[in-house]
Structure 1
Amino acid sequence: MTPANPYVFDAGLAGFEQDVLLKSRETPVLVDFWATWCGPCKTLGPVLEKLAAEFNGGFLLAKVDVDKEQQLAGYFQIKSVPTVMLVKDGQIVDGFPGALPEGQLRQFLAHHGITAKEAEAPAEPEAAPPADPHAEVVRLRAAVQAEPDKDELKLDLALALLRTGAAAEAEALLDALPANLAQDDRALRGRARLAFLALLKDAPPAEALARAVEADPADLRARHLLGAHAIVAGRWQDGLEQFLEMLRRDRGFEDGLPRRALIDAFRVVEDEDLVGAYRRKMASLLF
């Protein structure tokens, strides 16, 4: 068998039982007895190979060169070439001499219930594992050092630093960006993430805030900080849900903080479908 046509192979006496008879118990095998000097063989062979490829494993095609495999040809009493035999369930069930046209070959296959197999869907490529943010920082530092005038690399470095919690250095890099990059969506996302990090600078840990919200669901200040913890940790839906609950309970809290928190979170969250879903939820509460 070849990568170009995995359903065609050369057969000989040594492996005939394994390669043809046993395989035919699972998949029908056409055995094409041919010779290099045979003109009709040169017509029939390519058509059989084309059908084998088209049927995608609906049958296998075993090629037997009668000059090389005289003993095998004698065993099957081959009198002329080409001769084709169909083997199913370990037995010869039909065959024909000569080079049939393609239409008759298709009829022969159909008569024996041989149909094309559907092509398997290509496997989904495995998602690449998320990059280690600390390794990304090291890589991008080297890239910036190699190309210090490339501001896009500095923006990439700022975002990588934010993922490691290095807010001060990230903010300095963002502040130094030229005007065109400062308004880039990624830069705005970085600014929004910085705001959440600044909010958490002196905030209680997430576990304490969760206990406070459980004790008093109307504690919107605790909810706000708990949502910020979730956004910074990448648990975007948890954070959005906290801010949405704030909006449900009191849209005017601290001069519209629930709405502002949601909008800031939308800038940070990288899942567009999730952002779209929560934008619609926010709109249903506001209008």
Structure 2
Amino acid sequence: MATTASPHVFDATAETFESEVLQSSLQTPVLVDFWAEWCGPCKTLGPILEKLAGEYNGAFRLAKIDVDKEQQLAAAFQVRSIPTVYLVKDGQLVDGFPGALPEGQLREFLTHHGIVPGAPQEDAAPEEIAPEPPADPHAEVMRLRKLVETEADKPEHRLDLALALLQTGNAHEAEQLLDALPANLAQDERAVRARARLGFAALLKDAPAPQVLEAAISSDPKDLRARHLLGVHRIVSGDAEAGLEQFLEMLRLDRTFDEGLPRKALIDAFQVVDDAELVGRVRRRMASLLLV
């Protein structure tokens, strides 16, 4: 049973599942249809689902998974009979059903989850504005030192300076500034995150420089200790995405390393990183790695 040429229907695989299903579901709900060529009920249900995907005009996408070709995915979802259908929204599995439901019940299922036929999208996507390049952290430290001197009555400048110092690796002075903050600022979300980042910085005591760790990983990509320390370096210096990538690669290579350090490192990092969109994206990638 081949999928139709509809832009709303596609074949999903273990390699594409994270991007085409989990990440895609952040914008549009995805129905995941587990089927096989030899399955009689699948031949009844499949065409109805494909028809609805076209009729609903992008209100949901239909991911087709051939259980014979994608046994790992079927096992991860504990598929015991086919057809089995799951609904994924916002990166999470929210509902599902086994068997071939009639069209009326399928429509009720979609409506129950707020999925209604969509209108054609004719407007072009707005042109994205390129973000401004990040400020040089050392220049930012110099700027903030002057502000602290000229406006000593504003403790928020000391918090900003502490954050900038962390990006340059000066954890000791950053900690001193945080300790001296008034009570109201000490509870500021940025100060709390800075404290958590100091915990990461403590892991780097006597650690090799990032360039040394990069060379070690280049020589042995499975050197998970080097990956962990490099990830911590990146987190502390403010390059959260690069640090999280190292922890994700650790999880992919060996989730049991050092009593589950890859998973623990990711969870600890989520408390430090202040980019909610990035954290959400990495959480979903972590979940997909833990599924397989």
User: How does the TM-score come out when normalised to structure 1?
Assistant: 0.48
Q: Max radius of gyration: which structure? A: 1
**Higher relative contact order (CA closer than 8 Å, sequence separation 6+):** 2
